[in-house]
Copies of this chain bind each other. A is one copy, B any other.
Amino acid sequence: MKCSLTTLHKKTTSETDVVDITEDVGDAVHDSGVLEGACTVFIAGSTASITTIEYESGAVSDLIRAIERLAPRGIHYDHDARWGDGNGFSHVRAAMLGPSITVPVKDGDLVLGTWQQIVLVDFDNRPRTRTVHVQVIGASSARQPR
């Protein structure tokens, strides 16, 4: 059994920036030497989320609009009234979509669908450098036949 933690730093350029991190996560899996197991992708911070989507510009913009309906920018947020950050909507969106996913690993690769990418969704109202932790745990060689 092996256990490997890789930390990614990804720059985001604007609010609700959706960044494809599939290749980075796949590289972390390959580097770990784990052939069968589980890969957790976790975003540190309370104004961003991790999920999967077909990473093409249409679906990405559709997701952004749906999130805008879920927690619109222009309404009152108590967080903003107290702290003046102006990113109350970011906190709500991130809490609803969640900070982590876990993807199984088989034969050394993520078992994603063909059109399924792992994305970092940054909801904050300014550019950030995001810290994403990729935790891989599992067996480093195939199990022997029983």
Contact = CB atoms under 8 A, between A and B. Distances in A.
Q: Interface range on chain A: under 10, 10 to 19, 20 to 34, or 35 or more? A: 35 or more
A92 B63 contact: yes
Interface string A73-102: 000011111110000100110111111111
Contacts of A42: 102-104, 111
Given A135-B104, A137-B38, A138-B137, A59 B91 contact: yes
A71 interface: yes
B61 A106 contact: no
Nearest to A112: B44
Interface of A: 1, 3, 5, 36-38, 40, 42, 44-46, 51-54, 56-59, 61-63, 66-67, 69-71, 77-83, 88, 91-92, 94-106, 111-113, 115-117, 119, 131, 133-135, 137-139, 143
